[in-house]
Amino acid sequence: MTTPVLTEKRGVPDAPETIGDELYRQRMNFANLLAALDPTDWEAPSRCSEWSVADVAGHVLNGAEFHVARLTGSANLARFTRYGAFQPAVTPQAWLRDSPRRTPDATINELRELAVSERELFRARLEAPDGEPERGPTGRPLHWSTRSLHSLWDSWIHERDVALALGQPAPSAARSFPLATMYGFLIVGSVAARRGTPLHVTLDLSDIAATPYEIGITADDVYVAAGSRTVPQVFGSAAEMLDSAAGRSPGLRTLQAPDFLLTALRHFRVALT
């Protein structure tokens, strides 16, 4: 069985199609979660302090629209890029303000339709030349397929923002969606590399896989690899670490990790704001 490896500049070189497939499954899980909610749940607060469940759903829909526009190069891309460089604390709010207010049913249906389009467009893009690396959210260059993983990670985090706020389990468990969490750790490593303090660390993450995961960098290409034989330095839950780094509970102070990794997670948290 091939050991999963994700890198900034190569994506998932041994199985690139898994990116599009995992994104599709997560989108559908999120749509099904939304479809099971009562009307009052849509106005309930999410884990995002300024957003209701409806706002989070609208943001995820915006993310899917943006991803489709990127994959196609359509004129609709200008709707999202006209605000300049993406700023996590500002740009999503602007996107929401510019978006029509949809009913819950319309939001769910459109998200499902976009999920199908994303998977088809991603598969088609795999058949084309790679092209030049794209500027990633951390400012470092990314393979186009790695850049697509940001859509998966963002939607995965926001699925948790809805489900956990409503007292429900998140449908997309970390173990079944390893690329979402691998990408989360990849961009933590990217932020560290950009600051000149690259990570070389092995994590034993019980909620992802039975084998340790390694974050490292080689030839200026940050990677996350499963199946590391290095003695783990960090133990715990990937979901809790990435939730905490993204400003959610349980918080960085509760994590059992070396100081250098906690520092990297704090820097990542700052980069999100």
pLDDT digits (tens, 9 = 90+) for 135-176: 999 999 999 999 999 999 999 999 999 999 999 999 999 989
Closest CA to 163 of 25, 20, 35: 35
Domains of the chain, start order? 13-173 (1.20.120.450), 176-271 (3.30.1050)
Cα distances (Å, whole numbers) of residue 200 to 90, 131, 222, 228: 32, 29, 10, 12
At residue 47, what is the residue type? R
Residues 6+ apart with CB under 8 A from 101: none
pLDDT of 65 > 60? The answer is yes
**Are 255 and 241 a contacting pair, CB within 8 Å?**
yes
Tell me, what's the pLDDT at 2? 56
- Least-confidence region, from 39-53, 164-178, 245-259: 245-259
- Ramachandran bin of 84, using left for φ above 0, alpha for ψ from -120 to 50, beta for the remaining angles: left
What average pLDDT does range 54-77 have in this prediction? 96
Q: Which residues have a Cβ under 8 Å from the Cβ of 126 and sit 6 or more positions away?
A: 16, 17, 20, 145
Is the pLDDT at 220 greater than 60? The verdict is yes
Per-residue b or e along 154-190, where b marks 16 or more CB atoms closer than 10 Å to that residue's CB? bbbbbbbbbbbbbeeebbbebeebbbbbbbbbbbbbb
Residue pointed to by tokens 């909620």: 207
- The percent of residues above 70 in pLDDT, for the chain, comes to 98
- Give the integer Cα–Cα distance in Å for 271 and 273: 5
pLDDT the model gives residue 229: 87
Residues paired with residue 210 on neighbouring β-strands, in sequence order: none
Q: Across the chain, where does the E strand assignment appear?
A: 5-7, 134-135, 141-142, 201-205, 213-218, 221-226, 234-236
pLDDT at 1: 38
